Structure 1
Amino acid sequence: MPSQPAMPETASGNILETSMDYSAIPKSKDLKMESFKKEMNEKLEKSKGHRHNLNILADTLYAEIHSRILHDPDQGQREIPSETENQIRNYLKNANDKNIDDCILWLILISAVEKFVPASSENTTPTQKDSSDMDNPNFRIIRIILDIVPHLSFESLQPVNEIRGWGEESVMKRCKANHSYGRNKKTTPFHAAVEDERTQIVAHMLNRGDSLLSTTGGGWDLQDFIKILQRPKPDRLSSLSALGLAAINNNGMETVEMLLRYNPKIAISPTDKTFETSLKEGKDGIVDAFFEYEELRKEFITAKNILLALEYLSKNTPKQGDPPESYMKVVCTLISHAPTKEELNDEVVKEIIQLNLRRVWESRNKNIELEISEFLHIAVQCQNAEFVKMFMDEYPESVLQQIDNRYALWHNNFSAPEQRRSMEDLQSEANRNIREMLVTEIIKGNPDLGMQQLLEIFRDSEVEELCFDLSRFNSKKYLVSDFVRSLISHQDNPDLLSYEHTLKYAEFPNLDAKDDEKEIFGDDVHYEHAEVFLILDWLRNDKKAREIIELTVPDRLVNPHNEVKIGNYVKFFQVQVLNWRFLDLSITVLPDQETKERIKELHLYASGKRAAISHWTSENGILTLPNVSAELIIQF
């Protein structure tokens, strides 16, 4: 025999007494009992014309019993019934000759359940309110009936043939043959108590049913009782179990918690749709109550249920607005309790991204090791720029990871193999933002990638120029300044050259190569060179370039570009690798700490002046560049 579960608790946390100890009452005097029986029989004789009608007989008995308990001078104690209650119990238990059988007791029980008004009810009148629910006349009637027939709570006047158990053939089968049915109650007292949110009564019924596990013959165990508790309300139209009835009530939370506390397995049944209904209606409190129990978490936290919750959230979200908070809480609860990556599969992740539910994603259990390389690809496929940025920040390496031989960028151009995205999609703001983020990260975040590797990554993407390279310009034969002016003033085909916002590098030719243009030390120089600045302005203003990862300028040794302006351009283009041939370049030309922290590689050219070397090695020099690896070149 399995150990019996703990008795349910009331809302106050106290164990609810569920049985009365009749052995503690002194034996009633025979004269008193005989007098009581005589009075009761006289009451029944007055309804002689209706003796065989269930409802008339039950109503007569109920009214008399309720009146006697209500006016009982000795209310007794919670554990010990009063003498009046003992007399009522003995009369009902031994009055078979008066046609008082289980059917009559059932109708008295259902009347007491339906007419019970808890002391806490807002709708009660002063005359209805008792000192406590335990002293309520209807509650005391319920205790009397269930002491006589403990399992009567779970039986119906309707046949219930689904499973073996109490009420298998309905109480009506045990009625006396000469009863007429009268009106038929299509419920059980247990279901009625749950529907009316009578938690005190539900607790008492559970405990009386639980007591039968040790007294009923035939090998009854806890599993048998759980199956009985899982039965739907026997009204032919309803498929709701007691748990389901409690869940749909606005104030049924206490009853739901009580049923689950008795035994969580009550919720596990192929025919019980309580959990699914809670997902559909966004009942986050019910979902929370379920997940207090590990076995229910194992049963209900599945990828299927997560997708179902996401579907209901989507259906209940207005076109212009945020998802309802209750539905959001349901999904977050499911995600946060998901124990393995099996529940957070690609389909679930894709749905979260499509619905743009960042809060849901962030609620997941961070200890679960997921296939993170796929997330960026899914976010790009869903065209969700916010998730793309988040995944790039969290997993920057996924930009270069391939799934099915495809980089994430591929999904920005193709919705499926050999199916290019529509022009409308490609011109959308989301597509443009995603493309820019990916291209920038590929170029900027992976400085070791060569141009050949970049071209391979961008093979199926329509990318613009990735670099600006004039290094092969024959500066020995032609003036760089003339070429620059020609380039930036040529407006016939302004779109002939297009550049990405982030350039892998910009490299200029040797500005000191043409012998007849070379200036020497000591000359009186009045002309300020600005060819490189003109190109950089052209890239910024006309070609919308915003970043240059590596900037290489073999400047003139004499009369180079303005040193302060060099620092400003390095700041604007967020340069990381600076190789500007400028003798004795001062570190202080880098205008702010952010620019200095961005520099990863710096080439310094020295004329041999000790002051320059001292500056570079001082606390205001290279030490202000925390991420730099400096290369020092001595130029004489």
Structure 2
Amino acid sequence: MSLNPDIQSSQTRTKPSSNADTSIESMPDPKESSDDQSVNQKVIKPWMKLRGDIKETEMRLYDQAYELFKLLREALEYALKHEQLPSFIIDITDFFIDENREYRLDDCIRWLILNNAVQRCPLGIEDVGVSAVQTETVEETITGEKNSYIIIIRIITELWPHFPFICLDNSRTFHRLFPETADKLLVGECYFRDSHTKEQMREFPSTPLHRAAGKGNGKVIKYMIHSGRRFQPDDLLQILKLHDPDQRSGKTALSLAAIAENLGALHALLDFDASIADTPDTTFEEALKKGKENVVEAFLQQPELRRKFATTDYILLAIQPLKEINE
């Protein structure tokens, strides 16, 4: 699976690679397009007007990010409808990178847009269960995606692969496994850092990974993992095992995925590496105790886990609820 056009890491802050599909490279310069059909008209101009019309303390940072998120979604929906997605993706990628820092974008805004996309991304039939994580026989490109939320998520996570695994106050979620270039406080680098009150920071205690897991969105989890493959495999596994920094939850992504109504996220996590369920994780044990057959079945679809859990102890644990009913 790869993005097309290729989007390079934020560590380099470069424009999209010249390795992009030639059919995309040969498209006319977006600036030559009519204003009505350009990212400049639909996203950049309204965003710059918004930034120019407000003072730092007049509009919450979250509200600014949400307005930009809506502009991006509307632009992508237009592009999908009018078959202009490749050029729009290139323009939006350049906008996000903001190489010359002319759009006053920063990691706070980028993270908040990702969080909005994850939180609001609807679940379709193809986004849940095993179908969300089945290996594709052909390379899946971003230009073939029809979900504007997923497109935003894929662009941002390819540029900033550590974003799904941190919360807004990333001093609470920063991990030694992240690249050195990620060791920057999102708030500390923010243009509008005066907008960050303690109350507002508490509004975003969770990570996009844990949010997606709690919703059961396997497709979103799949792309987070795909972008995270730039980390060493063992490192990525350890990152996926981290607990939700939201103290109201404190659960792992696997545990949240098992609680979700849709089990797409559970399938995505187990499909990446079944050892995510190794001790000290107790998700399988809790599913047995609560009689959650669909969760148990999802675990046992993994050959490695069938061997692990096919023991006398787990069998006795599975029949315990039946024994209690008979008593």
Instruction: With the length of structure 1 as denominator, give the TM-score of the two structures.
Output: 0.39
Which residue does the alignment assign to 2:158? 147
Deviations 1:3-62 (A, max 9, x none): xxxxxxxxxxxxxx5523252323625566895544532233233455784213211211
Against the structure 1 CA distance between its residues 117 and 291, is the aligned structure 2 distance closer, same or farther, given a 3 Å change threshold?
closer
For 1:249 and 1:238, the matched residues in 2 are separated by 13
User: How far, CA to CA, are the matches of 2:102 and 2:125 in structure 1?
Assistant: 40
Query: 1:160–1:234: 8 Å Cα contact kept in structure 2?
Result: yes
Residue aligning to 2:189: 175
Change in CA separation of 1:172 and 1:99 when aligned onto 2, cut-off 3 Å = same
How far apart are 1:292 and its partner, in Å? 3.2
* 1:232 Cα deviation from its structure 2 partner: 1.8
Alignment of 1:277-292 (within 5 A): 277-292=286-301
Q: Does residue 178 of structure 2 align to residue 166 of structure 1?
A: yes
* Alignment partners' CA distance in 1, 2:213 and 2:106: 25
Q: Is the 8 A contact 1:195 1:249 kept in 2?
A: yes
Task: Tell whether 2:82 aligns with 1:87.
Answer: no
Partner of 2:168: 157
TM-aligned CA deviation for residue 228 of structure 1:
0.8
Aligned residues: 278
Match of 1:20 in 2: 4
Q: Is 2:107 the partner of 1:102? A: yes
Q: Secondary structure at the match of 1:175?
A: coil
User: Cα–Cα, structure 1 residues 162 and 188, in superposed 2: closer, same or farther, change >3 Å?
Assistant: closer
Q: Give 1:409's aligned residue.
A: none
SS at match of 2:261: coil
Deviation at 1:66, TM superposition (A): 1.5
Query: What CA distance in whole angstroms lies between the structure 2 residues aligned with 1:314 and 1:99?
Result: 63
Q: Secondary structure at the match of 1:191?
A: helix
- Choose the corresponding residue for 1:46, options 53, 68, 71: 53
Q: Secondary structure at the match of 1:172?
A: coil
Q: 1:174 and 1:31, CA in 2 relative to 1: closer, same or farther beyond 3 A?
A: farther
User: 1:7 matched to which residue of 2?
Assistant: none
Structure 2 residues not aligned, in runs of 5+: 7-19, 127-143
Matches within 5 A, 1:206-605: 206-210=225-229, 212-213=230-231, 221-252=232-263, 254-270=264-280, 272-315=281-324, 317-319=325-327
Q: What SS does the corresponding residue of 1:135 show, helix, strand or coil?
A: coil
Following superposition, the deviation at residue 69 of structure 1 comes to 1.5
Between the two proteins, what is the percent identity of the paired residues?
A: 27
- The amino acid that maps onto 1:165 is L
The code of the aligned residue for 1:60 comes to E
Q: 1:161, 1:114 → 2: CA distance?
A: 19
Taking the aligned partners of 1:170 and 1:295, their CA distance within structure 2 comes to 38
CA distance in 2 between counterparts of 1:87 and 1:144 reads: 11
Q: 1:116 aligns to what?
A: 121
1:68 equivalent in alignment to 2:83: no
TM-score, normalisation: structure 2:
0.73
Query: Structure 1 residues 196 and 45 mapped into 2: Cα distance closer, same or farther (>3 Å)?
Result: same
CA contact (8 A) 1:146 1:208 kept: yes
User: How far apart are the structure 2 equivalents of 1:238 and 1:161?
Assistant: 14
When the two chains are superposed, the root-mean-square deviation of aligned CA atoms in Å is 3.2
Residue 511 of structure 1 is matched in structure 2 by: none
Question: Structure 2 vs 1, CA of residues 223 and 276 (structure 1 numbering), >3 Å: closer, same or farther?
Answer: same
Whole-Å separation in 2 of the counterparts to 1:177 and 1:68:
25
Give the drift of 1:105. Answer: 0.7
Gaps of at least 5 residues in structure 1 are: 1-16, 122-132, 214-220, 320-636
Residues 99, 176 of structure 1: 8 Å contact kept: no
Cα deviation code 1:200-241 (max 9, x no counterpart): 22222221112x13xxxxxxx211100111112221132321
Is the 8 Å Cα contact of residues 44 and 60 (structure 1) preserved in structure 2? no
